[in-house]
């Protein structure tokens, strides 16, 4: 059985990169999901196995206090890059293998790792901004030592929490947009990490409507997948991966 290294060395040249990416109609969202489903069905069992392994790895790594969470955030881009290669191999009538889970550690490791670092930094910044919005609501009163003012500040903290949550949501969506296609651009086309993040972000803006429809439909499907004891997520997660891959192919390749 061919390893991912052999596949990466001998497969046809990567598809031609189109920057800054194409603008697609709203209906593209449904084609991403349909084509992602077809790609999942080509190796359904292996996709489920990979999903279980990722889940186990995430639980084990995250058990290490603080450091585990940091390491897992950094690993996310590396794993995503390997799964992009897995999708590509399936499209080229190859086999999805366990080695694809580690392909990002063997190919363009530095670029993918830097994408992971950027994601981690983004998460820290977002949480810091959220804390500032909430903290500034009550901090002045607490510093004054005025108990009545403190009580009033806590009573009005809901306003700061609401604004902070809104800012948190906007920044999280922006970070997600930057991360969505970045691993694919790095591992498939050797795009520099920061350029990949920018290209992904602006491509999502350019395709805001189909991206929004995609997010809504996948969210609704996630609810359905969670009903049978969450077992449906073993299908939903790989379809999310394969559908996102098809979105990358439609937007960024000729």
Is residue 99 over pLDDT 60?
yes
**Least confidently predicted of 107-111, 153-157, 195-199, 250-254:** 153-157
**Least confidently predicted of 5-9, 140-144, 222-226:** 5-9
| 181 contacts 252 by C-beta, under 8 angstroms | yes
Question: Where residue 230 falls among pLDDT bands split at 50, 70, 90?
Answer: confident
Q: How many CA atoms lie within 13 A of 241 on its CB side?
A: 29
Rounded Cα distance between 238 and 250, Å, is: 18
Strand partners for 17: 253
Reported residue count of the chain is 254
Residue 168's SS3 state is helix
Residue 247 lies inside a defined structural domain of this protein: yes
**pLDDT of 15:** 87
**pLDDT of 136:** 63
Rounded Cα distance between 168 and 183, Å, is: 23
Rounded Cα distance between 250 and 124, Å, is: 32
Instruction: Report how many domains make up the chain.
Output: 1
Is residue 122 over pLDDT 80?
yes
Residue 59 lies inside a defined structural domain of this protein: yes
* Domain region containing 158: 24-252
Is residue 3 over pLDDT 60?
no
**Least confidently predicted of 113-117, 162-166, 197-201:** 162-166
Residue 120 lies inside a defined structural domain of this protein: yes
Residue 42 lies inside a defined structural domain of this protein: yes
- Quick one: which of 251, 249, 254, 237 has its CA closest to 37? 237
Residue 39 lies inside a defined structural domain of this protein: yes
Residue 239 lies inside a defined structural domain of this protein: yes
Residue 6 lies inside a defined structural domain of this protein: no
Neighbour-count burial for 126-162, b at 16+ CB within 10 Å, e otherwise: beeebeebbeebbeebeeeeeeeebeebeeeeeebee
Scanning the chain, the segments in alpha helix (DSSP H) are: 4-10, 28-41, 44-62, 67-91, 103-106, 109-144, 147-155, 157-180, 182-189, 193-206, 208-226, 233-252
Q: What is the pLDDT of residues 144-166, one digit of tens each?
A: 555 565 556 555 556 667 777 88
Q: What is the pLDDT of residues 50-77, one digit of tens each?
A: 999 999 999 999 898 888 888 998 899 9
Residue 19 lies inside a defined structural domain of this protein: no
Residue 167 tokens read as 């800012």
Mean of the per-residue pLDDT values for the chain? 88
Rounded Cα distance between 102 and 94, Å, is: 17
């Amino acid at each position: 059985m061919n390893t991912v290294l052999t596949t990466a060395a001998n497969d046809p040249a990567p598809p031609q990169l189109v920057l800054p990416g194409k603008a697609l109609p709203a209906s593209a969202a449904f084609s991403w999901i349909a084509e992602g489903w077809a790609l999942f069905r080509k190796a359904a069992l292996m996709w489920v196995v990979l999903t279980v392994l990722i889940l186990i790895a995430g639980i084990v790594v995250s058990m290490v206090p603080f450091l585990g969470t940091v390491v897992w955030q950094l690993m996310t881009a590396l794993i995503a890059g390997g799964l992009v290669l897995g999708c590509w191999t399936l499209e080229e009538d190859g086999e999805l293998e366990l080695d694809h889970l580690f392909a990002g550690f063997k190919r363009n490791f530095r670029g993918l790792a830097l994408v992971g670092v950027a994601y981690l930094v983004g998460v820290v910044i977002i949480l810091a901004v959220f804390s500032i919005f909430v903290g500034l609501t009550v901090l002045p009163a607490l510093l004054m030592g005025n108990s009545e003012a403190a009580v009033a500040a806590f009573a009005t903290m809901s306003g700061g929490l609401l604004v902070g949550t809104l800012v948190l949501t906007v920044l999280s969506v922006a970070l997600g947009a930057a991360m969505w296609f970045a691993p694919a651009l790095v591992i498939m086309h050797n795009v520099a990490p920061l350029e990949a993040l920018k290209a992904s972000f602006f491509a999502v803006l350019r395709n805001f409507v189909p991206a929004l429809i995609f997010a809504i439909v996948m969210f609704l499907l996630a609810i359905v997948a969670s009903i049978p004891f969450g077992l449906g997520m073993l299908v939903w997660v790989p379809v999310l991966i394969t559908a996102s891959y098809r979105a990358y192919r439609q937007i960024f390749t000729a």
